[in-house]
C-alpha cells in the first residue's frame, strides 16, 4: 500500500473568536457533508447536506465537503461528479472541499491514507488497538455459529493478545492483518446529542471493530473520526442511522485524545411505505427530480420542511428566510415519510411565482427534449416559448407538464382529446358554428384577445347559443385539448393564420370523421 499524496498542515485547530462583547470565546462553526460516492445524491443525502449548509450559513460558519471514498469496490468517479453536480445545482456551495481546496485538505479520504495509518499506529502503540489475522471466512463462520446458538455475533477478541511470534507465524501463512480497536469491556459510553439528548451505550455490547482493513483502507468509523477532528469540525450533523455508530466514534475520540464535537442526529427520510429509500420507490435522487421538472427552489424548500419547521405558519419560504430562521432546536426527532405531492405543490408555487425569464430558462431544456424547439433556439422560438410559458405556467406543476402544456403552440400535428371530441365536436351543428366562427375571425383586425372575444360573444348572441358552445369546440380545434389558458389569449398568441387553419382542419375532421363516430355510438346504444 502506498500513500501517494502529501497533504499540508493538518492542524487540529478550532478557530476561536473572541466575542466583541465580554470576551467570551466562541467557537466558529465548522460542519461538513461527507457523502460516499457510491451512487447519485438522494434526497436523504441532500437533506443532510442542506441542514449542514443551513447551519453553517446561519451561524456564519464554514461548510466543508468531504468525499468518503474508502470503499474501493463501490466508489466511482462518476458518482463523485454526480454528487458534486447535484449539490451545485441545488446551490449548496461549500467553502472547502473538492475543486476549491482549503487548508485542511485534501478532501478525498483516498488521498489521506497515511493519516489514518499514522493514527492507527499511534493507537497500537498506546495499546488501544491491535493486529488481527482472522480471515473474513473465519469470521463469517463464527458469526454464523453464534447466530445459530442465539448469541450476539460479536468478534471474540481472539487476536487481542497475540505475541510477536504468533503474529509472525500468522503473517508467514500469508495472512494480511486488519487493525482492530480495543473496546473497553466494561463501563458505558455516552453520546450527547443536540437533538436526542443523552444516549447511553454499554461498552460490553460493542465488539473490537476494525480500524484499518486488510487492504490498507480505513473503515468508516475510523476515517470519519480522524478527519472530523483533523478538519476542525465543531458539529457533526448527520442522519440518525449513524447514531448507533457514534459510541464507537466517541471511544475513538477519547482514545486519540481528541475533543469530542457536538453531535446532531437528524431524523431519517423514509419512503411512503415507511421503509428506507431505495430505487424501487421511484424517483429518489436529486437528479431524477430535476429531470422530472422540479425546480431547485421547490426541492430545497420542501426538504427544509422535512424534519425542521419554521416558527411561523408560512411554509413557502425563500432560502434567505430559511437561513435566517434555521436552528438545530427546531429539528424534530421522528423519521419523516416524504410526500411527493406536497413537493409538487411547492413546485407549482415556484413555477408561477418566480420571474418569468427564470422559468423560461429552466423550461428550455424540456422544450428541446420534447422536440418543440431546436438545440439552438431561434429568436422566434424563444419569443414563442416565453409568451406561451407566460400563459401556461399557472397551470403546470412541473417543467415537464409545462413543456407539454405549451406543445400545441409549436406543433400543428396534435390529435384531439378523445373525450373532448365526444363532448364538443359531436353535438349537432358544431361544424357549422366553427365555420361561422372561422369566417368571423378572418375579419378580426387587429387580432388580439379583446377583439377576438368581442367577435365570439357577438357571434354567440347572433346564433342564439351560449358563448361556451362556441368556446369549447374552438379550444379543442385550436389546441386539441379541453383544458388550457384563456382561449382568447391563447388564440391571440397563436395568430390569426394558425387559428383559421386549425378551425378549418377541425371542421373537415368533424365532417369526415364524426358521422362514423355517431353511427358507431348509435349502434352501441341501440
Partner RNA sequence: GACCCUAUGGUCAAGUGGUUAAGACAUCGCCCUUUCAAGGCGGUAACGGGGGUUCGAAUCCCCCUAGGGUCACCA
Q: For residues 7-36, which are near RNA according to CB under 7 A?
A: 34-36
Answer yes or no whether residue 484 interacts with RNA by CB under 7 A.
yes
Q: What is the Cα 196 distance to its own chain's centre?
A: 25
For residue 377, the minimal CB distance to RNA (Å) is 26
> Stretches 89-97, 112-120, 243-251, 517-525: which one binds RNA (CB under 7 A)?
243-251
Among 12, 486, 495, 515, binds RNA (CB under 7 A): 486
Q: Find the shortest distance in angstroms from Cβ 385 to RNA.
A: 19
Torsion of CA 37, 42, 47, 53, to 10 degrees: 40
**If you ran DSSP here, which 8-state letter would residue 425 be given?**
I
**In the complex with RNA, which residue's Cβ is closer, 19 or 341?**
341
- The grid coordinates listed for 405 are 402544456
Measured CA to CA in angstroms, residue 55 lies from 32, 52, 65, 245 at distances of 10, 5, 14, 23
Judged by CB under 7 A, which of 220, 326, 366, 409 binds RNA?
Answer: 220
**Closer to RNA at the Cβ: 243 or 382?**
243
**Binding range to RNA, per CB under 7 A, among 47-55, 93-101, 377-385, 471-479:** 471-479
Task: Print burial letters for 339-377: b (CB count within 10 Å at least 16), e (below 16).
Answer: ebeebbebbbbbbeeeeeeebbebbbebbbebebbeeeb
Q: Is 444 in the site for RNA (CB under 7 A)?
A: no
With contacts defined by CB under 7 A, name the span among 80-88, 164-172, 203-211, 499-507 that binds RNA: 203-211
Considering only residues 139-198, where is the footprint of RNA by CB under 7 A?
139, 143, 150, 152-155, 176, 178, 196-197
* Residue 416 touches RNA, criterion: CB under 7 A: no
d(CA 211, CA 225): 11
Q: In Å, what is the CA distance from 206 to each residue of 214, 222, 314, 403?
A: 21, 15, 45, 55
Separation CA 193–CA 191 (nearest Å): 6
User: Residue 272 has what DSSP assignment?
Assistant: T
Q: Is 279 a catalytic residue?
A: yes
| Residue 212 and residue 220 in contact, taking contact as beta carbons nearer than 8 Å | no
State in angstroms the smallest separation of the CB of 520 from RNA.
25
Question: E strand or H helix at 363, and its extent?
Answer: helix 356-369
Q: Residue 284, exposed/middle/buried by CB under 10 A (0-12, 13-18, 19+)?
A: buried
Choices 24-32, 251-259, 300-308, 376-384; region in contact with RNA by CB under 7 A:
300-308
How near is the Cβ of 140 to RNA at its closest, in Å? 8
Please give the residues from 42 up to 81 whose contact with RNA meets the rule CB under 7 A: 68, 70-71, 74
Region of 87-95, 334-342, 377-385, 408-416 interacting with RNA (CB under 7 A): 334-342
333/411 with CB nearer RNA: 333
The catalytic residue among 279, 333, 439, 466 is 279
Residue whose C-alpha cell reads 483502507 in the numeric block? 217
Please, what sign has the CA dihedral across residues 165, 166, 172, 176? negative
Among residues 281 and 505, whose Cβ is nearest to RNA? 281
Give the binding-site size for RNA (rule: CB under 7 A): 86
Q: Are 339 and 273 in contact (CB under 8 A)?
A: no
Three-state secondary-structure class, residue 71:
coil
482 binds RNA (CB under 7 A): yes
Catalytic amino acids?
Answer: 279
Amino acid at each position: 500500500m502506498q500513500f501517494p499524496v502529501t497533504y499540508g498542515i493538518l492542524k487540529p485547530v478550532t478557530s476561536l473568536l473572541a466575542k466583541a462583547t465580554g470576551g467570551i470565546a466562541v467557537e466558529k462553526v465548522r460542519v461538513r457533508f461527507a457523502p460516499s460516492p457510491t451512487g447519485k445524491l438522494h434526497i436523504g443525502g441532500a437533506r443532510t447536506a442542506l441542514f449542514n449548509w443551513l447551519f453553517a450559513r446561519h451561524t456564519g460558519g464554514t461548510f466543508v465537503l468531504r468525499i468518503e471514498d474508502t470503499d474501493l469496490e463501490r466508489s466511482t468517479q462518476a458518482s463523485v461528479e454526480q454528487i458534486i453536480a447535484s449539490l451545485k445545482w441545488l446551490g449548496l456551495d461549500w467553502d472547502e472541499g473538492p475543486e476549491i481546496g482549503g487548508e485542511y485538505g485534501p478532501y478525498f479520504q483516498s488521498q489521506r491514507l497515511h493519516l489514518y495509518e499514522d493514527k492507527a499506529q499511534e493507537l497500537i502503540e498506546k495499546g488501544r488497538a491491535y493486529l488481527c489475522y482472522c480471515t473474513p471466512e473465519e469470521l463469517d463462520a463464527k458469526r454464523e455459529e453464534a447466530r445459530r446458538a442465539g448469541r450476539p455475533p460479536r468478534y471474540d477478541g481472539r487476536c487481542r493478545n497475540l505475541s510477536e511470534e504468533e503474529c509472525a507465524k500468522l503473517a508467514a501463512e500469508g495472512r494480511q492483518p486488519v487493525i482492530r480497536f480495543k473496546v473497553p469491556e466494561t463501563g458505558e459510553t455516552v453520546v450527547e446529542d443536540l437533538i436526542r439528548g443523552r444516549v447511553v451505550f454499554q461498552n460490553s455490547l460493542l465488539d473490537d471493530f476494525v480500524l484499518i482493513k486488510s487492504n490498507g483502507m480505513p473503515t468508516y468509523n475510523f476515517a470519519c473520526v480522524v478527519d472530523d477532528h483533523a478538519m476542525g469540525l465543531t458539529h457533526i450533523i448527520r442522519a440518525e442511522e449513524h447514531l448507533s455508530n457514534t459510541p464507537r466514534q466517541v471511544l475513538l475520540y477519547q482514545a486519540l485524545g481528541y475533543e469530542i464535537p457536538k453531535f446532531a442526529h437528524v431524523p431519517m427520510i423514509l419512503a411512503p411505505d415507511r421503509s428506507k429509500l431505495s430505487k424501487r420507490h421511484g424517483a429518489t435522487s436529486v437528479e431524477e427530480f430535476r429531470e422530472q421538472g422540479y425546480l431547485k427552489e421547490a426541492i430545497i424548500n420542501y426538504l427544509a420542511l422535512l424534519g425542521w419547521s419554521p416558527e411561523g405558519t408560512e411554509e413557502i419560504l425563500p432560502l434567505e428566510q430559511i437561513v435566517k430562521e434555521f436552528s438545530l432546536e427546531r429539528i424534530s426527532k421522528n423519521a419523516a415519510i416524504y410526500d411527493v405531492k406536497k413537493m409538487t405543490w411547492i413546485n407549482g408555487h415556484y413555477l408561477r411565482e418566480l420571474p418569468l425569464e427564470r422559468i423560461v430558462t429552466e423550461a428550455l431544456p424540456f422544450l428541446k427534449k420534447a422536440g418543440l424547439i431546436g438545440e439552438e433556439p431561434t429568436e422566434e422560438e424563444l419569443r414563442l416559448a416565453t409568451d406561451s410559458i407566460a400563459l401556461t405556467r399557472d397551470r403546470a406543476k412541473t417543467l415537464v407538464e409545462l413543456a407539454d402544456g405549451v406543445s400545441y403552440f409549436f406543433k400543428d400535428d396534435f390529435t384531439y382529446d378523445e373525450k373532448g371530441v365526444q363532448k364538443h365536436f359531436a353535438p349537432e351543428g358544431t361544424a357549422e358554428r366553427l365555420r361561422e366562427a372561422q369566417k368571423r375571425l378572418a375579419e378580426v383586425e387587429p387580432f388580439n384577445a379583446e377583439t377576438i372575444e368581442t367577435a365570439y360573444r357577438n357571434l354567440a348572441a347572433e346564433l342564439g347559443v351560449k358563448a361556451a358552445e362556441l368556446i369549447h369546440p374552438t379550444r379543442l380545434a385550436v389546441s386539441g385539448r379541453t383544458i388550457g389558458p384563456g382561449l382568447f389569449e391563447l388564440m391571440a398568441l397563436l395568430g390569426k393564420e394558425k387559428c383559421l387553419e386549425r378551425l378549418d382542419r377541425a371542421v373537415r375532421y368533424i365532417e369526415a370523421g364524426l358521422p362514423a363516430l355517431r353511427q358507431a355510438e348509435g349502434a352501441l346504444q341501440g
